[in-house]
């Protein structure tokens, strides 16, 4: 039995209602833990005053420089003692989950036992960077909890100016739209940078994210410094039985209005069967005895829409790989930036090919470490120096797939033009 609960009239209002309540969860923990009684006391105070009361500090585990988010209370009595002394320290351990966030119940139960023993008993599945967040431990208990979690085969994630914990989608484990082995690639890349994850020393954070197809379920383009997004080069595959089954259920109106009309390049057409073309770049499939679909894959931008709507009837091609985009980030400091295409297509089907991505990632981070200003993300660095300079340093050839359009202003010195053309021609001849 823990000490008496503080009155929490504000938090009490977050218990009713059908959605699971974190307040009810905290109150259950508070029955046995003074720690959580006082946590609720401080949180109630925040609800009353609409202010936060945690400050950072320096807490870590032996051997690492990051991965623990220290929190000390700032809610003090006049004599400087903590108003809620049992929750005066409330540190979080960031722990990297398996790719795709798969678990067996034995593992989850073991996490619970460790955290009930050494921490608050509150665990978040998962934080926005993808960590399991073991929330709330005293300074003394951080090391004990980490040692036991680490013995289970789990390791701390990133915090501060470091390579951060990554995320990958469910991917090949359960999704037909997967274009590479997301989990294997995720591990191959991240586990190359363990030193940069555990010992923060970069100009600022660096995030990788791995999505298996252009649906980008990991939201990588808007928030990853390096987004690895699955795609394919050959033709969309078709399955006549599933196409006909889809058509029976959905009909011509939906095929025309939901698929044809929504194809961004209008390469998806519905035609009478006898008018459907054949050819190296054409995918086609009958939807009934008179009509069928024709897709010219050279005009397809691999947006996924028709495949999403007609799953199974249409599918990604088999010459799969990924597009790599660099420089995505949120607002601070210069405004939100999407990642931009740096590698239009790479194969990731063999360990050697994955190793090429790892090598590219290593060179990118090396360049970032040497050239970014303090607190500058890759996207901001590239905006400052220009994409062409970044590509030059990365030894990546320019490609029109990297731009929305060529330059719209004449403010560029082009006296190296002939040399560049000669280089491109020489490369073409050598190929």
Partner 1 sequence: MNQAVQAAAPAAKRKPKETGVPDNKKYLHPTLLKNYGNWKYHDRPRPGVLHHVAHGGDEVWSVRAGTARQMDVYTIRKLCDIADNFAEGRVRFTIRSNIEFIVSDEKKVAPLIAELETSGFPVGGTGNSVTMIAHTQGWLHCDIPGTDASGVVKSLMDELYDEFRREEMPNRVHLSTSCCEINCGGQADIAIIVQHTKPPVINHDLVANVCERPTVVARCPVAAIRPAMVNGKPSLEIDEAKCMCCGACYPPCPPMQINDPEYSKLAIWVGGKNSNARGKPTFMKMVASGLPNNAPRWPEVADAVKNILHVYKEDARPWERIADWIDRIGWPRFFEKTGLPFTKYLIDDWRGSRANLNASTHIRF
Site for partner 1 in 236-255 (CB under 8 A): 239, 242, 254
Q: Taking contact as CB under 8 A, which single stretch among the options 271-279, 286-294, 308-316, 385-393 is the one that binds partner 1? A: 308-316
Cβ(296)–Cβ(235) below 8 Å: no
Q: Does residue 410 belong to the site contacting partner 1 (CB under 8 A)?
A: no
Q: Taking contact as CB under 8 A, which single stretch among the options 122-130, 269-277, 278-286, 384-392 is the one that binds partner 1? A: 122-130
* Residue closer to partner 1 (CB basis): 252 or 426: 252
CB of 333 to partner 1, least distance (A): 5
Query: Among 290, 298, 311, 389, which residue interacts with partner 1 (rule: CB under 8 A)?
Result: 311
Neighbouring residues of 197: CB distance < 8 A, sequence distance ≥ 6: 66, 67, 156, 157, 158, 162, 163, 164, 165, 190
Angle at 312 between CA 325 and CA 250, to 5 degrees: 115
Cβ(116)–Cβ(134) below 8 Å: no
Q: Does residue 387 belong to the site contacting partner 1 (CB under 8 A)?
A: no
Q: Does residue 312 belong to the site contacting partner 1 (CB under 8 A)?
A: yes
CB of 418 to partner 1, least distance (A): 33
Q: Which DSSP letter does residue 415 get? A: T
- Distances in Å between the alpha carbon of 401 and those of 132, 282, 404? 37, 22, 8
Q: Does residue 375 belong to the site contacting partner 1 (CB under 8 A)?
A: yes
Query: Among 2, 34, 46, 402, which residue interacts with partner 1 (rule: CB under 8 A)?
Result: 46
Q: Does residue 351 belong to the site contacting partner 1 (CB under 8 A)?
A: no
Cα(185)–Cα(307) distance, rounded to whole angstroms? 24
Cα(63)–Cα(217) distance, rounded to whole angstroms? 34
* DSSP helix/strand/coil, 362: helix
Q: Does residue 354 belong to the site contacting partner 1 (CB under 8 A)?
A: no
Binding letters toward partner 1, positions 62-101, x by CB under 8 A: xxx----x-x------------------x-x---xxxxxx
First to last CA, the chain: 75
Binding letters toward partner 1, positions 194-213, x by CB under 8 A: x--xx---------------
* Residue closer to partner 1 (CB basis): 336 or 386: 336
CB of 126 to partner 1, least distance (A): 6
Structural tokens at position 58: 């320096």
Q: Does residue 49 belong to the site contacting partner 1 (CB under 8 A)?
A: yes
Other residues' Cβ atoms within 10 Å of the Cβ of residue 334: 13
If you search the block for the tokens 């032996």, which residue do you land on? Answer: 62
Q: Taking contact as CB under 8 A, which single stretch among the options 180-188, 271-279, 363-371, 390-398 is the one that binds partner 1? A: 180-188
Largest CA distance in the chain: 88
Cα(352)–Cα(311) distance, rounded to whole angstroms? 31
Cβ(39)–Cβ(32) below 8 Å: no
DSSP code string of 128-186: TTS-EEEEEE-HHHHHHHHHHHHHTT--B---SSSBPP-EE-SGGGT-TT--S-HHHHH
Q: Does residue 426 belong to the site contacting partner 1 (CB under 8 A)?
A: no
Q: Does residue 124 belong to the site contacting partner 1 (CB under 8 A)?
A: yes
Q: Taking contact as CB under 8 A, which single stretch among the options 78-86, 332-340, 389-397, 415-423 is the one that binds partner 1? A: 332-340
Q: Does residue 219 belong to the site contacting partner 1 (CB under 8 A)?
A: yes
CB of 427 to partner 1, least distance (A): 29
Q: Does residue 266 belong to the site contacting partner 1 (CB under 8 A)?
A: no
Q: Does residue 381 belong to the site contacting partner 1 (CB under 8 A)?
A: no
Cα(162)–Cα(84) distance, rounded to whole angstroms? 33
* Residue closer to partner 1 (CB basis): 262 or 393: 262
CB of 414 to partner 1, least distance (A): 24
Number of residues that bind partner 1 (CB under 8 A): 130
């Amino acid at each position: 039995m823990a000490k008496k609960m503080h009155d929490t009239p504000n938090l009490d209002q977050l218990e009713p209602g059908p959605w699971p309540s974190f307040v009810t969860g905290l109150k259950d923990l508070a029955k046995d833990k003074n720690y959580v009684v006082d946590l609720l006391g401080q949180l109630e105070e925040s609800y009353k005053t609409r202010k936060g009361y945690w400050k950072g500090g320096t807490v870590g585990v032996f051997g690492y420089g990051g991965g623990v988010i220290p929190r000390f209370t700032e809610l003090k009595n006049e004599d400087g003692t903590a108003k809620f002394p049992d929750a005066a320290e409330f540190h979080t351990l960031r722990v990297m989950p398996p790719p795709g966030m798969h678990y067996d119940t034995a593992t989850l139960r073991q996490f619970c036992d460790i955290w009930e023993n050494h921490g608050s008993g509150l665990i978040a599945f998962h934080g926005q960077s993808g960590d399991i967040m073991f929330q709330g431990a005293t300074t003394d208990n951080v090391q004990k909890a980490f040692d036991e979690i680490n013995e289970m085969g789990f390791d701390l994630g990133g915090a501060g100016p470091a390579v951060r914990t990554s995320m990958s989608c469910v991917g090949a484990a359960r999704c037909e739209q997967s274009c590479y082995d997301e989990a294997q690639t995720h591990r191959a890349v991240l586990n190359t940078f363990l030193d940069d994850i555990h010992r923060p020393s970069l100009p600022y954070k660096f995030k990788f994210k791995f999505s298996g197809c252009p649906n980008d379920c990991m939201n990588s383009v808007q928030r990853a410094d390096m987004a690895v997004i699955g795609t394919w080069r050959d033709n969309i595959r078709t399955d006549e039985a599933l196409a006909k089954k889809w058509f029976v259920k959905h009909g011509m109106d939906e095929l025309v209005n939901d698929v044809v009309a929504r194809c961004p390049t209008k390469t998806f057409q519905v035609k009478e069967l006898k008018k459907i073309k054949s050819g190296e770049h054409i995918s086609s499939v009958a939807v009934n005895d008179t009509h069928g679909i024709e897709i010219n894959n050279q005009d397809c931008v691999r947006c996924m829409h028709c495949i999403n709507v007609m799953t199974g009837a249409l599918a990604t091609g088999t010459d799969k790989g990924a597009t790599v985009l660099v420089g995505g980030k949120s607002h601070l400091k210069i405004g939100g930036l999407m990642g931009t295409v740096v590698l239009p297509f790479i194969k990731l089907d063999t360990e050697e090919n994955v190793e090429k991505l790892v090598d590219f990632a290593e060179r990118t981070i090396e360049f970032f470490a040497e050239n970014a200003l303090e607190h500058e993300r890759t996207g901001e660095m590239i905006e400052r120096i220009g994409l062409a300079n970044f590509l030059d340093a990365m030894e990546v050839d320019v490609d029109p797939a990297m731009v929305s359009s060529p330059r719209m202003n004449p403010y560029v010195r082009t006296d190296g033009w002939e040399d560049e053309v000669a280089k491109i021609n020489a490369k073409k001849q050598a190929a």
